[in-house]
Amino acid sequence: MSLLSFFKTRPDRPVFSEAPTAVRRAYETRRWSVFLSVLFGYGLFYTSRMNFSVAKKAMLEEGVMSATQMGLVGSALLFVYSAGKFTNGFLADRCNIARFMSTGLLLSGVANLMLGFNPLFTVFLLLWGLNGWFQSVGSAPSVVALSQWFGKTERGTRYGIWSASHSLGEGLTFVGTAVLVANFGWRWGFWGPGLVCLLAGLVLYHTLGDRPQTYGLPPVHVYKNEPPEAPSQAQASVGQLQLEVIRHPGVWILALASGCLYVGRYGIGNWGPLYLQSAKGYSTAAAGSVMAAYPLANLLGSVSSGWVSDYLFGSRRNLPALIYGLLEVASLLALYWTPPGHPFLDSAALAGFGLGMGGLLVYFGGLMAIDLVSRRAAGAAMGLVGLFSYLVAGIQDTLSGYLLDASKVVVNGTTTYSFRLVFAVWISALALSTMLGASLWFFGRSRPQH
């Protein structure tokens, strides 16, 4: 079997039964297996991506890397990730999702195990960049799977719940990896997540699924008694539909809004633990506990956003996106202005930021884009948005590391970092993201059109 044939989606099979109850039973069993697989599987991708941020303080103290080098390493992952998101988004529309996604998780686990054995900057840069490619396999297949197995009337709610998976992964990373690093050193910040991803990848291979038609089940719009796609879309090839995605102005606006959003997301995600330890005096474990408020609230924002837009705003995303955007900007300002020694206020600010970020990750990160295009080109829409999101996030990581090193002060052997300039960058980007999202009102309603 060639590599291409291994990953290619299987041919359609005739519907296995004319009995509606038999079809419904088989469909619902598969739907639950697919949904739980992408929910927990994608969350575990984050344990081998966000772990570097937890290990940074210990690595700085041991002199493994400088803040500038860490910024370059972080950017390497994000730049490669952006290219991978774009490429793998287009591939996911044609792939067997179970094989494609599980392979990415397995290889990410292997890369992290290798990172734990390596203290050299150059090798670390190459391995972390390679990990970015493996990580890029997670998102688009998840969204394609949701588009293939769930109808448009339930898509927002399901997408919102799935989007909370990254919060589960981040929470597990900030708490679990912090405990490993605090007790066993920075190397276990990579070995632990690597072992978790290896095991999860093997499970995912068996529990995820290909398209419904490959199991002798009808397409989801038939199963849910929804209208089919417009004749022009139904008769078009996948390549033609993907070309329409590239030509759609609304998708480009979302890509830019998401890119600015990810400056704030990865600013806090990659540098937040170091900020709490350096600027506010938290220990590694305490910083991990305070940071946990962010992904927990992020989870609530993600889960609520799809339901809120589907049931309170008639599947329109613009107004709730504006509300979430204002909340995250205000919360990040509060986090910066709160003086040291107030863990409750820091946690509350991170929770508000996480709530707003969770909602916007659902809207800007993909849902508003796939609302605008055919479900058969959902991967391409995610790929284009992901390209901009992580390209801009990568620029942020290098810039943040440079600004921190440029503003550090060493007194009696103790290094202090100023976060004034990096917070200005993060907050400005989030404000621009909110304005770009609001500008979509001039490009028509962001609601499902098919």
pLDDT tens sequence across 200-242 = 999 999 898 888 888 888 888 787 777 766 655 556 676 777 7
Query: What is the pLDDT averaged over residues 341-346?
Result: 90
Helices then strands, counting H and E runs in the chain, come out as 22, 2
Tracing tokens 């990580």 back to the chain, one arrives at 135
| Model pLDDT, residue 200 | 92
Amino acid 176 reads G
Q: What is the distance of C-alpha 321 from the center of its chain?
A: 17
Q: Are 266 and 397 in contact (CB under 8 A)?
A: yes
Buried/exposed code over 369-395 (b: 16+ C-beta within 10 A; e: otherwise): bbbbbbbbbbbbbbbbbbbbbbbbbbb
**β-bridge mates for residue 16, sequence order:** none
Of residues 167 and 37, more confidence is placed in 37
Lowest mean pLDDT among 27-31, 130-134, 435-439: 435-439
Q: Are 97 and 212 in contact (CB under 8 A)?
A: no
Query: What is the pLDDT averaged over residues 371-400?
Result: 76
The structural domains of the chain, with segments of one domain joined by +, span 17-443
DSSP structure class, residue 439? G
Alpha carbon distance 30, 153 (integer Å): 19
Amino acid 444 reads G
CATH code of the region 17-443 = 1.20.1250.20
Model confidence at 157: pLDDT above 80: no
| Model pLDDT, residue 219 | 83
| Model pLDDT, residue 13 | 81
| Model pLDDT, residue 345 | 93
Query: What is the pLDDT averaged over residues 352-363?
Result: 88
CA distances from 16 to 215, 269, 322 (A): 8, 47, 46
Model confidence at 447: pLDDT above 50: no
Amino acid 240 reads Q
Model confidence at 414: pLDDT above 60: yes
| Model pLDDT, residue 56 | 86
Lowest mean pLDDT among 73-82, 88-97, 335-344: 88-97
pLDDT in tens, 14-67: 877 777 788 889 888 888 899 999 989 998 998 898 888 888 888 888 888 888
Model confidence at 191: pLDDT above 90: yes
Query: What is the pLDDT averaged over residues 164-185?
Result: 83
Identity of the highest mean pLDDT range in 102-116, 392-406, 431-445: 102-116
Q: Are 336 and 141 in contact (CB under 8 A)?
A: no
Residue 298: how many CB atoms within 10 A of its CB?
29
Q: Name the CA radius of gyration of the chain, rounded.
A: 21
Of residues 171 and 114, more confidence is placed in 114
Q: What is the distance of C-alpha 380 from the center of its chain?
A: 16
Alpha carbon distance 295, 13 (integer Å): 41
Model confidence at 411: pLDDT above 50: yes
| Model pLDDT, residue 449 | 45
- In percent, the amount of the chain with pLDDT more than 90 equals 21
Confidence of residue 370 (pLDDT cuts 50, 70, 90): low
Query: What is the pLDDT averaged over residues 373-378?
Result: 66
Identity of the highest mean pLDDT range in 223-232, 243-252, 413-422: 413-422
| Model pLDDT, residue 444 | 46
| Model pLDDT, residue 445 | 42
| Model pLDDT, residue 105 | 93
Q: Are 438 and 322 in contact (CB under 8 A)?
A: yes
Identity of the highest mean pLDDT range in 80-84, 141-145, 202-206: 202-206
Confidence of residue 450 (pLDDT cuts 50, 70, 90): very low
